[in-house]
């Protein structure tokens, strides 16, 4: 089953393109940042700023990995081949988590080392061995993996590529920015901390060297990792639950 | 090919028992019961919207029946071990990612179905797509996609083949190819179950017909029987003495209705009998011709009451 999904994933160009775009975005932004920032303001986690961009490509990859199978109707062949649908979805999810995680970590480390090299020439030195640096880079990659799986979840739920991508963007970048503002003041800050982008920020910048603003609205690193894993579990389990309850037309 | 798989069940049979499928408050299929048997091509006929595709999806466990049960080789489809080795289906030739090439598509299905990888090249050769196996499916013609769909259905070398409207949109050569393939598969002892909304497509292909309309069974007969039934038809008899002939034939038990100045429409007697009776009575017959009802007519009569969407009569 995993082998089948592996063949499917790598035999369409969109998968490769999504990864190229993620890599180009992350490394490109790391390069740009390293070249233009004033050395006194530089903080090593800025190397990971490109994650804001990379997560788009990961989310799109997550959506496409499943939505194209539904929208082309191939899913009927797949479910006729393997009537135990949870096995299909589980195999897809497992493969995607593994691929996204590997790709995200490679891209995150590449971005970090690129920035390290370029900023080093400008007299700003930092390394992976610095306090929390490694955990920041790993956190960045893990967060991007989660966002990709969120795209996968939306893809299974909506089954059609365009609505799924629109919904993905809408939730991550719009709804999660708007909803906290609709909350009563007493919980607004807490809700904001739980939005995906803030979780991602909390995971990828514990190593920042500039003083943390007390009101910057982020969870602690450990709590952010915890929330990310909870979210990840949800976006994998939900597709497993819905998939057996629907007709496939 | 279709060996019995246990004392209680027979191989290569689809058994549909009181199948109902409801979408919202509308029944697509209602209380449908029939069996599809090996060694012949069974045509599944009905107007568009009659419930043919719904039934086929239900056989594959893709649509969950509202009521009733379906058995394939004696088991529910979802309980089959390696289902592709039991049933190969072509539901929709477009159901392939356009960006994937033909070989990768088949490799992915083979891997999921736990089928040996060599089957991929075998079925590609079988449907004549070996040359274009590395080309992306998006560039395929409808006929090539149809062949790829059939290659997918053949991957598991199944005893049952199920095709939903396989000749839709194909050119005559493609139609002939699929027809020959289906007949060949049936001759090998496989079960071939093929849907169509056109009688004319089935006339030369199917040995047996299951006709449904508005989700219900209308007929489950052999093609020969349906032809025989339809061939009942009537005699067109032309004579210069219609009056006396009407009396004569009516006395012999025929139903006779005038159909033009010299023409009679005669039911219940065959041509020999009419000619002999007329000869004995000294009545000259100018023409005796059998007017068979075409299969198409027979089918239209069967399904007339069951047409779901009819164009406004001009």
Q: What CATH number does residue B162 fall under?
A: 3.40.50.300
Residue B73 is predicted with a pLDDT of 92
Any domain includes B174: yes
Per-residue pLDDT tens digits for B19-40: 999 988 899 999 999 999 999 9
Of A216-225, B275-284, B297-306, the range with the lowest mean pLDDT is B297-306
CB–CB of B156/B114 below 8 Å? no
Give contacts of B104 with chain A, Cβ < 8 Å.
7-8, 11
CB contact, 8 Å: A249 with chain B? yes
Q: Where are the domains of chain A?
A: 2-245
Do B239 and B218 share a structural domain?
no
What residues have CB less than 8 Å from B44, skipping those under 6 apart? B52, B55, B56, B193, B194, B195, B196, B210, B212
Same domain? For B182 and B153 the reply is: yes
Residue position matching structure tokens 């049952």? B160
> Do residues B86 and B210 both lie within one domain?
yes
Count of domains forming chain B: 2
Question: Domain check: are B19 and B94 in the same one?
Answer: yes
The minimal CB distance from A83 to the residues B78, B99, B108 is found for B78
Same-domain status, B239 and B218: no
Is A72 within 8 Å of B94 when comparing Cβ atoms?
yes
Co-location of B95 and B120 in the same domain: yes
Asked, for residue B167, whether it belongs to a domain, the answer is yes
Specify the pLDDT at position B169: 77
Give chain B's mean pLDDT: 88
Q: What is the pLDDT of residue B291?
A: 76
Binary contact (A80, B64; C-beta < 8 A)? no
B228 falls within a domain:
no
More confident residue, B77 or A185: B77
Distance CA(B78)–CA(B59), nearest Å, equals 9
Q: Which residues of B touch A72 (CB under 8 A)?
A: 94-98
CB-CB contact of B205 with B194 (8 Å): yes
Taking 90 as the threshold, does the pLDDT of residue B179 lie above it? yes
Whether B305 maps to a domain, the answer reads no
Which structural domain range is residue B183 located in?
14-222
The answer on B192 and B148 residing in a single domain is: yes
Q: For residue A248, which residues of chain B lie inside 8 Å, CB to CB?
A: 57, 62-63
**Is residue B84 located within the same domain as residue B26?**
yes
pLDDT in 10s for each residue of chain A, 249 residues = 899 999 999 999 999 999 999 999 999 999 998 888 888 788 878 888 888 889 999 999 999 999 999 999 999 999 999 999 999 999 999 999 999 999 999 999 999 999 999 988 888 888 888 888 899 999 999 999 999 999 999 999 999 999 999 999 999 988 888 888 888 888 888 888 899 988 998 898 887 765 666 556 788 888 999 999 999 999 999 999 988 877 765
Is the pLDDT reported for residue B9 higher than 50? no
- Output B228 or B249, whichever has higher pLDDT: B249
CB contact under 8 A, A77 and B109: yes
**Band of residue B308 on the pLDDT scale cut at 50, 70, 90:** low
Asked whether residue B210 falls in the same domain as residue B239, the answer is: no
Highest mean pLDDT: which range of A139-153, B199-213, B227-241, B271-285: A139-153
Residue B137 placed within a domain:
yes
Percentage of chain B modeled with pLDDT above 90: 61
Predicted local distance difference test score (pLDDT) of residue B213: 87
Q: Specify whether B208 is located in the same domain as B275.
A: no
Lowest average pLDDT, out of A29-38, B70-79, B153-162, goes to A29-38
In this structure, the answer to whether residues B203 and B74 fall within a common structural domain is yes
Inter-chain CB proximity A7 and B107 less than 8 Å: yes
Do the chains contact at B78 and A84, CB–CB below 8 Å? yes
Report ipTM for this prediction: 0.88
Q: Is B94 in contact with A73 (Cβ distance < 8 A)?
A: yes
Collect all residues of chain B within an 8 Å Cβ-Cβ radius of residue A88.
Answer: 112
Q: Is the dihedral of CA B212, B217, B223, B224 positive or negative?
A: negative
Q: Is B71 part of a structural domain of the chain?
A: yes
Q: Rounded to the nearest 5 degrees, what angle is found at the Cα of B175, between the Cα atoms of B170 and B181?
A: 130
In a domain, B297, yes or no: no
Nearest to B112 among A1, A14, A248 (CB): A1
Cross-chain residue pair B112–A68, CB shorter than 8 Å? no
**Sorting pLDDT into bands at 50, 70 and 90, what band is B182?**
very high
Residues in chain B within 8 Å Cβ distance of A81: 83-84, 109, 112-113
C-alpha–C-alpha distance, residues B294 and A217, integer Å: 79
User: Are both B255 and B134 inside the same structural domain?
Assistant: no
Q: Read off the CATH number of the domain in which B258 is found.
A: 3.30.70.100
pLDDT score of B190: 95
Residue spans of alpha helices (H) in A159-220:
161-169, 176-182, 185-194, 196-204
């Amino acid at each position: 089953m995993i082998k089948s999904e592996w063949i499917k994933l790598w035999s369409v160009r969109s998968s490769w393109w999504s990864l190229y775009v993620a890599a180009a975005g992350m490394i490109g932004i790391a390069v740009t940042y390293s070249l233009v920032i004033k050395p006194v303001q530089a903080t090593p986690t800025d190397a990971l700023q490109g994650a804001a961009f990379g997560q788009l490509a990961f989310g799109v990859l997550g959506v496409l990995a499943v939505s194209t199978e539904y929208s082309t109707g191939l899913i009927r062949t797949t479910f006729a081949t393997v009537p135990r649908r949870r096995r299909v979805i589980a195999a897809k999810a497992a493969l995607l988590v593994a691929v996204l995680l590997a790709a995200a970590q490679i891209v995150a480390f590449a971005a970090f080392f690129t920035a390290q090299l370029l900023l080093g020439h400008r007299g700003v030195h930092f390394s992976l061995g610095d306090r929390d640096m490694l955990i920041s880079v790993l956190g960045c990659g893990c967060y991007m993996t989660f966002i990709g799986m969120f795209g996968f979840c939306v893809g299974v739920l909506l089954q059609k590529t365009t609505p799924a991508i629109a919904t993905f963007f809408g939730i991550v970048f719009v709804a999660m920015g708007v909803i906290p503002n609709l909350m009563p003041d007493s919980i607004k800050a807490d809700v904001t901390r739980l939005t995906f982008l803030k979780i991602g920020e909390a995971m990828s910048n514990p190593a920042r060297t500039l003083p943390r603003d007390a009101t910057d609205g982020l969870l602690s690193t450990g709590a952010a990792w915890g929330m990310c894993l909870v979210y990840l579990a949800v976006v994998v389990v939900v597709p497993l639950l819905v998939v057996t309850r629907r007709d496939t037309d | 090919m279709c060996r019995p798989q246990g004392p209680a069940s027979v191989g290569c049979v689809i058994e549909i028992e009181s199948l109902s499928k409801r979408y919202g408050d509308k029944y697509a299929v209602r209380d449908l019961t029939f069996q599809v048997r090996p060694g012949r091509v069974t045509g599944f006929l009905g107007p568009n919207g009659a419930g043919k595709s719904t039934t086929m999806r239900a056989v594959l466990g893709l649509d969950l029946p509202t009521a009733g049960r379906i058995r394939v080789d004696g088991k529910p489809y979802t309980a089959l071990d390696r289902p592709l080795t039991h049933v190969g289906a072509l539901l929709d030739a477009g159901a392939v990612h356009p960006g994937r090439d033909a070989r990768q598509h088949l490799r992915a299905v083979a891997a999921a179905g736990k089928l040996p990888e060599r089957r991929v090249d075998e079925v590609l050769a079988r449907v004549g797509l070996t040359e274009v196996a590395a080309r992306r499916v998006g560039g395929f013609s409808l006929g090539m996609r149809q062949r790829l769909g059939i290659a997918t259905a053949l991957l598991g070398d199944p005893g049952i083949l199920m095709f939903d409207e396989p000749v839709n949109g194909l050119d005559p050569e493609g139609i002939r190819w699929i027809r020959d393939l289906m007949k060949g598969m049936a001759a090998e002892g496989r079960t071939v179950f093929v849907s169509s909304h056109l009688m004319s497509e089935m006339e030369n292909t199917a040995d047996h017909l299951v006709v449904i309309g508005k989700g219900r069974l209308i007929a489950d007969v052999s093609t020969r029987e349906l032809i025989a039934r339809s061939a009942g038809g009537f005699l067109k008899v032309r004579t210069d003495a219609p009056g006396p002939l009407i009396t004569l034939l009516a006395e012999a038990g025929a139903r006779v209705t005038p159909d033009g100045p010299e023409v009679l429409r005669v039911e219940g007697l065959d041509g020999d009998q009419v000619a002999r009776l007329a000869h004995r009575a000294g009545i000259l017959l100018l023409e005796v011709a059998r007017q068979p009802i075409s299969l198409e007519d027979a089918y239209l009569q069967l399904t007339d009451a069951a047409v779901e969407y009819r164009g406004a009569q001009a």
